[in-house]
Structure 1
């Protein structure tokens, strides 16, 4: 106690938080090592090709377990076959560009070409994606922000894994009450086993990049603590209040809920 009394309370809290974060990353590194050995919870064809050490946020994992009544997945309307396809883009009325499917490596290049071809017609990107390649998601987010484009997640759509990092790029961001928005841990797609020390180093560097990205986009980086707490084979889904709390949306989604009712 006499030793701790030498530091002010703020410094003690900061070091405690740092210790907690490093501990979480350490556990994540061990998970990454186990996943590289086992690889038993996803089908091999679901892992998209990537260069060694590319961080991947695996797409949503579906199980046969009953969906809880408060789980937003119950609203998702697209079938797994559609969401499993590489990300595709369709321009609709009102300048809304629909982006649907998994974020595969190369999505960012296709997206940039689409934006270049459409010029100023694209006003909003509407997302329906189970996630995937991390770097592509963040690259698309930066292009969306540079172009001043809005993002949305419509009722019945899902935006999970790396998709929220793309969603964060919107100059304005809206999500329907019946939208499913979730995060979880990433893993490193590598063709060779990674030493635990290197896995930990890579995990820390990637977590730092994600945190900086969220800060640059005006989103509270504390949001990503939920991803660190959630293993890759699961998902943490945000409530409407949490989406507003972490500033992932710029327009509150729970207007009817605040009035004491819920949309039907």
Structure 2
């Protein structure tokens, strides 16, 4: 008596499931690799057929506001000194201080100690920063608001990436028409070697925290639209009119 042939349907189903699982794993590994490369290089981006964005030294006009971005970039101005790699706080007159440099991890704690040591506490904080750590920027911003400090960005200053969160924290806030204030997408978390669904969850959580922060500071959440549409290696420069309409500034610049 001959043996019955194996059920081909069951075998085909098992192979289909294995192929599907292998495809999902390959997708997650590929996305994790892209996230890792972006986190390491910070200048990494997918190939694009469009023209490259101009540099920060090129003037921006409504409808032409996207510029190349790297934390070390700043306009080529005669008085432009190298940007510090950590935030530096210096007294600037009797009632003001200047906060300048990249926002590094741990700067929130360092800045809290610096401001606590100042007597009196500055009433105005002048910003000049290409941004950096989002979590530290939010922590610094909450401290600025708690202390009732006003914020401003001067004519020769920049406030890019995570820096606008500091500007948004001011009890009153203003920006010179020649100042460069810009937003873009952010990185969240330190380790991107994670399954894709975890990486996406971290990004969504980070964006949710940013939105809650901006809402608490009285900023129009519509500012998230140009931010989310601009990749991390570019920056969207906000016009004076947009700064007012998004309520990132509350007072005109009167000298």
In structure 1, stretches of 5+ residues that fail to align are 1-29, 44-62, 256-262
1:70 lines up with 2:52 in the alignment = no
Aligned-residue RMSD, C-alpha = 2.8
Cα distance in 2 for partners of 1:240, 1:64 equals 20
**Is the 1:240–1:252 contact (alpha carbons within 8 Å) kept by the matching residues of 2?**
no
Q: Give 1:224 shift.
A: 1.5
Matches within 5 A, 1:34-73: 34-37=34-37, 39-40=40-41, 42=43, 67-70=57-60
Q: Which residue of 2 aligns with 1:16?
A: none
**Is the 1:77–1:157 contact (alpha carbons within 8 Å) kept by the matching residues of 2?**
no
Q: Report the TM-score when normalising by structure 1.
A: 0.70
Q: Which residue of 1 aligns with 2:139?
A: 139
The structure-2 alpha-carbon separation of the partners of 1:123 and 1:32, relative to structure 1 and needing over 3 Å to count, comes to farther
**Is the 2:192–2:199 contact (alpha carbons within 8 Å) kept by the matching residues of 1?**
no
In structure 2, stretches of 5+ residues that fail to align are 1-29, 45-52, 66-73
**Is the 1:158–1:179 contact (alpha carbons within 8 Å) kept by the matching residues of 2?**
yes
Q: Which has the higher helix share?
A: 1
Q: Give 1:243 shift.
A: 0.1
Q: Report the TM-score when normalising by structure 2.
A: 0.72
Q: Which residue of 1 aligns with 2:239?
A: 239
Matches within 5 A, 1:39-188: 39-40=40-41, 42=43, 67-70=57-60, 74=75, 79=80, 82-188=82-188
**Is the 2:134–2:188 contact (alpha carbons within 8 Å) kept by the matching residues of 1?**
no
1:251 lines up with 2:241 in the alignment = no
Q: Give 1:90 shift.
A: 0.3
